[in-house]
């Protein structure tokens, strides 16, 4: 039987991959403008890292992680997200001691055993950015500004930025108790998962997409009414900075996010065009995460953009690469010469395509046309004798002879004009 890929693990083929390259390239460029450096983390970590940071009672840790025992008997997990690993590495390498403020970005695959559907996969990719070591609302506003600068610059429209404050552990505990009390009376109306969440992690119920659970929460108390004065003040200052630069947002007191480590500012960017899985980006502050994994207090904030969902919003075939010249050679000796001419052109930064199969001239011309090459260089025995090639302009069909020595210069001039 022919071997197929694993469910939820998607190939990214040429034709689509150009959109990925564009999204990733722009992220590097824009994040660079804001002074962020790239961070690379391992694909696997000790399971404990995620259990202690993301939280035992979350869906990710409870039922979605790819956890294995490796050959030494250690429990290891394919990373389901990047933030915990970045914090682990930041502390492990003492970066907090050298320069407490770290601004990092990361691009790479994540793994969660979720039910696959459009926009939801088991291996998916995130573009992350994190500001570590800053408690001031300035960091919240700056990372949100960078996020919208980036997404807007990709040409995405109809994006909605929703923000909320989840408070600190002190103000969240009474809120959690209040929500538990509120929902106890409505227990029967909740879905099976949420009935379980009611005992383990009641705030997660806000994440449930089921209509019955949303309805049950319709008149639920708002987290914003439970914030302590410090958290209220922090949130007000974040909003004032966003207002200062006229960045549009909506406050959504029902947005809670699926990871336990979030404190204070939480946010999501949604795109109307995406349907059910409409969150392109999620993020928030995680002031207690470093302590959760055994480190000092490092107040921080970050976001993760889902690249699969992002590219769904990009226009088709952005920068599909096409050759600048196609080298059509006929016969054994001209083909050998064409091989070395092609390398010479590539050394001069010209994108060259060749025919690998010794096909007829007609078939090679058809291939050049299909690849949308604007020019073809034709080399047969006759041309080789004269140390020349024929240059054909595919649009005008005009042809001219060119000596070998002039090829690179001529093609460069043509490329500069186009």
3-state SS track over 139-189: HHHHHHHHHHHHHHHCCCCCEEEEEEECCCHHHHHHHHHHHHHHHHCCHHH
User: Could you tell me which stretch among 121-129, 165-173, 177-185, 222-230 binds ligand AMP (CB under 6 A)?
Assistant: 121-129
Instruction: Output the six-digit token pair for 208.
Output: 């449930």
For 90, residues 6+ apart whose C-beta sits below 8 A from its C-beta are 96, 102, 104, 132, 298
Instruction: Output the six-digit token pair for 96.
Output: 């907090």
- When asked if residue 285 is in the footprint of ligand AMP (CB under 6 A), the reply is no
State the number of binding residues for ligand AMP (CB under 6 A): 17
Among all chains, which residue has been given the structure tokens 């294995």?
68
Nearer to ligand AMP, 306 or 334 (CB): 306
**Cα separation, 276 vs 278, whole angstroms:** 6
Among 58, 85, 126, 388, binds ligand AMP (CB under 6 A): 126
C-alpha distances in angstroms, 354 versus 132, 207, 306, 363, 414?
A: 50, 53, 37, 12, 19
Among 102, 137, 302, 306, binds ligand AMP (CB under 6 A): 306
- Smallest distance, ligand AMP to C-beta of residue 111, A: 9
Show contacts with ligand AMP in window 311-370 (CB under 6 A): none
Helix (H, G, I), strand (E, B) or coil at 2: coil
- When asked if residue 130 is in the footprint of ligand AMP (CB under 6 A), the reply is no
Cα dihedral 282, 45, 65, 7 sign: positive
- When asked if residue 415 is in the footprint of ligand AMP (CB under 6 A), the reply is no
- When asked if residue 302 is in the footprint of ligand AMP (CB under 6 A), the reply is no
- When asked if residue 103 is in the footprint of ligand AMP (CB under 6 A), the reply is no
Residue 91 · residue 290 · CB < 8 Å: yes
Q: Of 289, 266, 288, nearest to 279 (Cα)? A: 266
Site string for ligand AMP, 196-225 (x = CB under 6 A): ------------------------------
Closest residue to bound ligand AMP by CB: 306
Site string for ligand AMP, 27-66 (x = CB under 6 A): ----------------------------------------
- Smallest distance, ligand AMP to C-beta of residue 120, A: 4
Nearer to ligand AMP, 64 or 355 (CB): 64
- When asked if residue 162 is in the footprint of ligand AMP (CB under 6 A), the reply is no
Residue 374 · residue 393 · CB < 8 Å: yes
Among 102, 282, 302, 323, binds ligand AMP (CB under 6 A): 282
**Cα separation, 88 vs 300, whole angstroms:** 13
Residue 226 · residue 178 · CB < 8 Å: yes
* DSSP secondary structure letter of residue 390: E
User: Could you tell me which stretch among 33-41, 120-128, 224-232, 348-356 binds ligand AMP (CB under 6 A)?
Assistant: 120-128
Nearer to ligand AMP, 134 or 280 (CB): 280
Binding residues for ligand AMP, rule: CB under 6 A, are 81, 112, 114, 119-121, 124, 126, 258, 279-282, 304, 306, 308-309
């Amino acid at each position: 039987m022919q071997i197929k890929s694993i469910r939820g693990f998607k190939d990214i083929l040429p034709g689509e991959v150009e959109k990925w390259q564009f999204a990733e390239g722009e992220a590097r460029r824009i994040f660079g403008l804001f002074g962020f450096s790239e961070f690379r983390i391992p694909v696997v970590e000790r399971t404990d890292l995620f259990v202690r940071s993301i939280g035992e009672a979350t869906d990710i840790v409870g039922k979605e992680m790819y956890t294995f025992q490796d050959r030494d008997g250690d429990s290891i997990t394919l990373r389901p997200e990047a933030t915990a690993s970045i914090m682990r590495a930041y502390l492990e390498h003492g970066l907090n001691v050298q320069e407490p403020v770290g601004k990092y970005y990361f691009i790479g695959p994540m793994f969660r055993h979720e039910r696959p559907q459009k926009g939801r996969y088991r291996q998916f990719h995130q573009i992350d950015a994190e500001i570590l070591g800053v408690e001031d609302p300035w960091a919240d506003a700056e990372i949100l500004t960078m996020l919208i600068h980036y997404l807007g610059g990709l040409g995405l429209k109809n994006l909605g930025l929703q923000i909320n404050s989840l408070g600190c552990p002190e103000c969240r505990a009474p809120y959690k108790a209040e929500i538990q009390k509120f929902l106890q009376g409505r227990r029967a109306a909740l879905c099976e998962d949420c009935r379980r969440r009611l005992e383990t992690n009641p705030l997660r119920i806000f994440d449930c997409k089921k209509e019955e659970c949303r309805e049950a929460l319709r008149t639920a108390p708002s987290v914003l009414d439970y914030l302590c004065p410090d958290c209220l003040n922090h949130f007000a200052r974040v909003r004032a900075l966003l207002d200062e630069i006229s960045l549009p947002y909506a406050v959504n007191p029902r947005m809670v996010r699926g990871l336990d480590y979030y404190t204070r500012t939480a946010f999501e960017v949604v795109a109307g065009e995406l349907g059910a899985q409409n969150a392109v980006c999620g993020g928030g502050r995680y002031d207690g995460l470093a302590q959760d994994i055994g480190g000092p207090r490092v107040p921080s904030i970050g976001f993760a953009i889902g690249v699969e969902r992002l590219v769904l919003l990009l226009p088709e075939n952005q920068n599909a690469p096409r050759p600048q010249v196609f080298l059509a050679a006929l016969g054994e000796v001209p083909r050998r010469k064409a091989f070395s001419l092609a390398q010479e052109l590539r050394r001069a930064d010209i994108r060259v395509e060749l025919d690998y199969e010794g096909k007829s001239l007609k078939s090679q011309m058809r291939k050049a046309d299909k690849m949308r090459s604007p020019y073809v260089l034709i080399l047969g025995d006759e041309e080789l004798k004269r140390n020349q090639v024929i240059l054909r302009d595919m649009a005008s069909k005009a042809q001219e002879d060119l000596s070998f020595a002039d090829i690179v210069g001529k093609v460069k001039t043509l490329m500069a004009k186009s």
